[in-house]
Every structure is written in structure tokens, then in C-alpha cells.
Amino acid sequence: MRLYSCWLTQRRTGASKMNWFVAAFAVCALVPGVHCASDSVAWCYDQASCNDAQWPVIAAEFCNGTRQSPINIVSASAKGDSNLVEFTFRNFSSTSALKKIKNTGKTVKVTLASHVGISGGGLSESYDSLQFHLHWGNGSSVPGSEHTVNGKRYPMELHIVNSKSSLNGNTTLAVADSTGLAALGFFIEEMSGNATGQPESWKNLTSYLTSITEKDQSATIAAGFSLDDLLVGVDRSKYYRYLGSLTTPNCNEAVVWTVFKDTIKVSKDLIDLFSTTVRISNSTSHLMTNVYRNVQAAQSVTTQAKSSVSSTCYSLGLMTLSIALGLRT
């Protein structure tokens, strides 16, 4: 997941490394209002000099931490937690909640209206939904989700980024709070069969990609589809929970992660549009592919508590009673 949309784009080579650091520091010192503490590092996905293997070096403050995301989730190791109740989704059904779609050079990001949010789900308080963005590989056949489950990587992953409502959208405070942000992760999988242009909400969303092929281009999203429409087919009461970080520099360890078990099914043609339409910079630059961080050290993961022993005994008891009484149920 990424939170910030501003960073320096200069390519770093071994020879210019030190000069670059000086330049970054100067920009941060001279441009007030820029999120410099979080954006002062020129990171990338596609070059050995600045890809995720280098983040612990070029953004060492947090990317080298001990609760980093994403992780591989081992389903058999997830412990039951009865606090992981259902979420309440505020205005996820609103067809006017999706405001703007932007090519940031690292992802495609959609900003959300101010009245969208979440609560429940074992979170300590209400959170406001700020934006969602996506991670992908290279078409549906080269998967690019960030989290993996039992070693399986999915074609894409959608992240909805939420900030503690009590922090009033102050992201500086949010990234300094160990639970300042709540991220919702949804896996996207190829729809079975030969469907094209499905679901319609994803056809609507991806129709904007041709308007944002270059970095920093954005488009206004017309009303007509909601977050609920995009999250079609996911039982949002079943999820994994762990404490982790932003998955892009500066990798702040401020994120309560929720990764849903069910996947969103999207037709292959629409998945393929991400890696064939948007570019990392101008029209001569590379297509945006493999925009995900590799998995980090394992964390303790929880999930919904399995049916308890007492309720199993109760069911067995009822069954025995039914048989004893000759009942058919």
C-alpha cells in the first residue's frame, strides 16, 4: 500500500548516489508543505539501484524494521480471535464516492469522498477511507499481489487506505501512530470462463486508464459505480488481521492490515489493461509492470475464531437427541 503521491523521480545510478541524497535533502529543506519526511527517497520497482531490495538501505529508518509488509500469510498458522467481528462500511454503496483517478508513476490511485469510512472489524475506532490503489504484475499470467497466501501470489491486489478519524486526515500523525492507518487488502483473480469486460464496475474503472497513461495525469470519475460494486463477490466477514507497515517507502509501521480471504473475480482482458496501458513516466517510458514489494518477515496473523468446542458439542448433542427421538431434520 502507498499513502503518498509525491516523490522525486530522478534516476539514481551508483555514481550519482551521493549527489542525489544531497539534492533530495535540499528539496525537502526548501519546499515547505511537501511530505518530505516520507517522500525524500527516490525509490522504484524496476531498477536494481532503487527497487525493494534497496529500500532498507535508501529508506532505512522504517523499511529495515521488524513489522514490515507485505507478508506471506500461512492460513494454518492464523490464530482465532473472537474480536474480529464484521466491519461497518460507511458509504461504500455511494455511487459518487469515487472522485479522481491518477497515474502516480508507481500505481493507479483513486481518491475517495470525505464521507467514506469503516469501523468495527476489531478496529479500535472509526477510520476515514482516503483512497484506494492497486498492485499488479504483468497481465493476469504474471501475478503481482503484495500479500501471498500459503505462497500463492494473485494477479492483482487492491488496497483501500483508511486513516483514524480522530486524526482528522493528518497523515503525519497517522504514520507516527502504530495503528494510525487501517488498510484493506483485496486479491483480484481472473474470472473463470471466457468472459470479457466483467464485472461492469471494473469495466467502468478501467475505462479511465487510457486517460492517465502518463505519470501525474488524472481524470475525474463520473458517478455511477461504488466501492461495493468493485468489491463484488467478497464475503467481507472473513479476513486475516496483522500489524504491519506501508509497503512503499518510508514503510512506516503504522498499519493495521486486513486481508480478505475471498477474491474479486475480474475478466482477463480488464486485468491485462493495467500492465498494457499506463506508463511509469512519459509516453516513451516503460509500461507500469510488477508494481509490488516482495514479502517480508512473517508476523503473527489472526482470523475469525473457528466454531468453538461448546457450540460443536451443542450441535452434536442436538444431533444425538434428534436421533434418539427419531426426528428427521
Ligand X SMILES: *[C@@H]1O[C@H](CO)[C@@H](O)[C@H](O)[C@H]1NC(C)=O
Binds 1: which of ligand X, Zn ion, none (CB < 5-8 Å by kind)? Zn ion
CB 285 within 8 A of CB 205: no
**Closest residue by Cα to residue 92 from 228, 207, 270:** 228
Least distance between ligand X and beta carbon 308 (Å): 33
Shortest separation between residue 322's beta carbon and ligand X, angstroms:
42
Amino acid at 196: T
Element (H, E) at 241: strand 239-244
Q: Candidates 32-40, 60-68, 154-162, 273-281 — which segment interacts with Zn ion by CB under 5 A?
A: 154-162
Tell me the CB-side half-sphere exposure of residue 137, using CA atoms within 13 A: 19
- Residues 144-163 interacting with ligand X (rule: CB under 6 A): none
Residue with Cβ nearer Zn ion (1 or 221) = 1
SS3 of residue 128 by DSSP: strand
Q: Binding residues for Zn ion, how many (CB under 5 A)?
A: 2
Among 67, 147, 159, 293, binds Zn ion (CB under 5 A): 159
Q: Which of 13, 16, 47, 64 binds ligand X (CB under 6 A)?
A: 64
The DSSP annotation for 2-56 comes to: --------PPP-TTTHHHHHHHHHHHHHH-TTS-HHHH-S---SS-TTTSTTTHH
Q: What is the DSSP string of 51-108?
A: STTTHHHHTHHHHTSSS-S-BEE-GGGPEEETT---EEEESTT-TT-EEEEEE-SS-E
Q: Which does 204 bind (CB under 5 to 8 A by kind): Zn ion, ligand X, none?
A: ligand X
> Could you tell me which stretch among 90-98, 120-128, 157-165, 222-230 binds Zn ion (CB under 5 A)?
157-165
Segment interacting with ligand X (CB under 6 A) among 101-109, 156-164, 168-176, 179-187: 168-176
Nearer to ligand X, 282 or 308 (CB): 282
Q: What is the C-alpha to C-alpha distance for residues 98 and 80, in angstroms, rounded to an integer? A: 34
What does DSSP say about strands 127-136 and 302-304: parallel, antiparallel, or unpaired?
A: unpaired
Residue (46 or 235) nearer to ligand X, CB? 46
Query: Does 293 interact with Zn ion (rule: CB under 5 A)?
Result: no
* Nearest C-alpha neighbor of 146 from the set 191, 190, 187: 187
Q: Which does 281 bind (CB under 5 to 8 A by kind): Zn ion, ligand X, none?
A: ligand X
Nearest residue (CB) to ligand X, 44 versus 73: 44
Residue type at 219 in one-letter notation: A
- Residue 1 is a binding residue for Zn ion (CB under 5 A): yes
Q: How many CA atoms lie within 13 A of 304 on its CB side?
A: 14
- Should residue 297 be labelled a site residue for ligand X when binding is judged by CB under 6 A? no
- Site mask for ligand X (CB under 6 A), range 178-197, x = bound: ---------------xx---
d(CA 329, CA 320): 12
94 binds ligand X (CB under 6 A): yes
Which residues make up the interface to ligand X (CB under 6 A)?
A: 56-57, 60, 64, 90-91, 94, 115, 138-139, 170, 172-173, 193-194, 200-201, 204, 222, 224-225, 229, 281-282, 284-285, 289
Contact residues: Zn ion, CB under 5 A: 1, 159
